Amino acid sequence: EVQLVESGGGLIQPGGSLRLSCAASGFTVSSSYMSWVRQAPGKGLEWVSFIYSDGSTYYADSVKDRFTVSRDNSKNTLYLQMNSLRAEDTAVYYCARTSRIAAAGSEWFDPWGQGTLVTVSS
């Protein structure tokens, strides 16, 4: 069964750092495209970052230069290193496998992890 399990969330003071983990089973993270998506309390979904199988990465402007996506192939795990955290980064963070069929113009997030809550507050 394909599954994602996030961990690492918690309460952190503004300006602090946190690393989220996303452990995968049933598929190989290193040969997949992966994304992070967040959802602030009571709000909609916001795409955060993307990593290709070749390691190239993309970020939302709101987190660029503060967040870094990476992976550990030996642990089959995706990470999101979050630095210089702000109150507006408070959200549930989801990781998702990203599948693409370029010839059909299709790309989608599935499955999603259960999410991990990050609260940035003093």
Decide whether 30 or 111 has the Cβ nearer to other proteins: 111
The residues binding other proteins (CB under 8 A) are 35, 37, 44-47, 50, 58-61, 94, 99-101, 104-115
**20: how many CB neighbours lie within 10 A of its CB?**
24
Question: Please, what is the minimum distance in Å from the beta carbon of residue 104 to other proteins?
Answer: 5
Degrees, nearest 5: CA angle 72-110-117: 65
> Can you list the pairs that 50-58 forms with residues at least 24 positions away whose Cβ atoms lie under 8 Å?
50/98, 51/78
Question: Of 31 and 104, which CB lies nearer to other proteins in the complex structure?
Answer: 104
Q: Which is nearer to other proteins, 74 or 106 (CB)?
A: 106
69 contacts 55 by C-beta, under 8 angstroms: no
- As measured in angstroms, the least distance from the Cβ of 122 to other proteins is 26
Residue in the structure block whose two tokens are 């990050």: 118
Q: How far is the CB of 9 from other proteins (least distance, A)?
A: 14
Measuring CA to CA, how many Å separate 28 from each of 34, 73, 87, 89? 11, 8, 34, 28
Q: Give the shortest CB-96-to-other proteins separation in angstroms.
A: 8
Token pair of 110 as six digits: 């599935």
**Which is closer to other proteins, CB of 27 or CB of 112?**
112
